[in-house]
Amino acid sequence: MRWLLTFTDKVLLWLAALCFAGFLICVSLQVLFRYVLEQPLPWSEEIAVYLFIWSSFVAAAVLVGKNEHFVIPVFVDTLPSRVQWVLEIISILLCITFCTIIVLKASVWSYRMLPFFTPVLQVSQGAVYAVLPFSGLYMILHLVIRLTEILQRPSE
């Protein structure tokens, strides 16, 4: 199972990088056409926003999976290892709870947004925001696997 997650992490990081590159290209084109050529592109802002959203949430899902999200461990590092182990379990359970709420609420929201289309591109907004439940589910998968690994490890 771990090799499959490693593979999907790489694929998703490439997807996030491609989305971010597309975002940079769209913003660059937007500036070029608006301020240099004085012929603004109507679609560039819309695409840039959606590519940035996808890039951010896909990359965040992978970083949570790799346990590389933002953490300030100053206080926790001073505690005994048994307390650190318990706090790590509590932290993962809180993250799973938060991600579950995201998945549930974002799924409903994405479904409700399916009949609405973006102004310029005419793409379903539900499809655009489907990245929210997708990334939440991916985070939960990683967190559950990390939790099982921690529970199998002795608390020292």
Where exactly are the structural domains of the chain?
2-152
Res. 81: pLDDT tops 90? no
Among residues 76, 72, 101, 82, the alpha carbon closest in space to that of 150 is found at 82
Cα R_g (the chain), whole angstroms: 20
Q: What is the pLDDT of residues 4-39, one digit of tens each?
A: 888 999 999 999 999 999 999 999 999 999 998 889
Average pLDDT value for the chain: 90
pLDDT in the model for residue 156? 60
Query: Which of 24-38, 65-79, 88-102 is the least confident region?
Result: 65-79
Average pLDDT over residues 96-106: 96
Strand partners of residue 124: 117
Strand partners of residue 117: 124
Q: What is the pLDDT of residues 41-68, one digit of tens each?
A: 888 889 999 999 999 999 999 998 888 7
Q: Would you call 124 helix, strand, or coil by DSSP?
A: strand
Among residues 131, 130, 126, 122, the alpha carbon closest in space to that of 113 is found at 126
pLDDT in the model for residue 71? 75
Higher pLDDT, 83 or 22: 22
Res. 2: pLDDT tops 80? no
Count of residues in the chain: 156
Q: What is the pLDDT of residues 132-143, one digit of tens each?
A: 999 999 999 999
Res. 111: pLDDT tops 90? yes
Q: Which residues contact 10 (CB under 8 A, 6 or more apart)?
A: none
Specify the pTM. Answer: 0.85
Average pLDDT over residues 72-78: 80
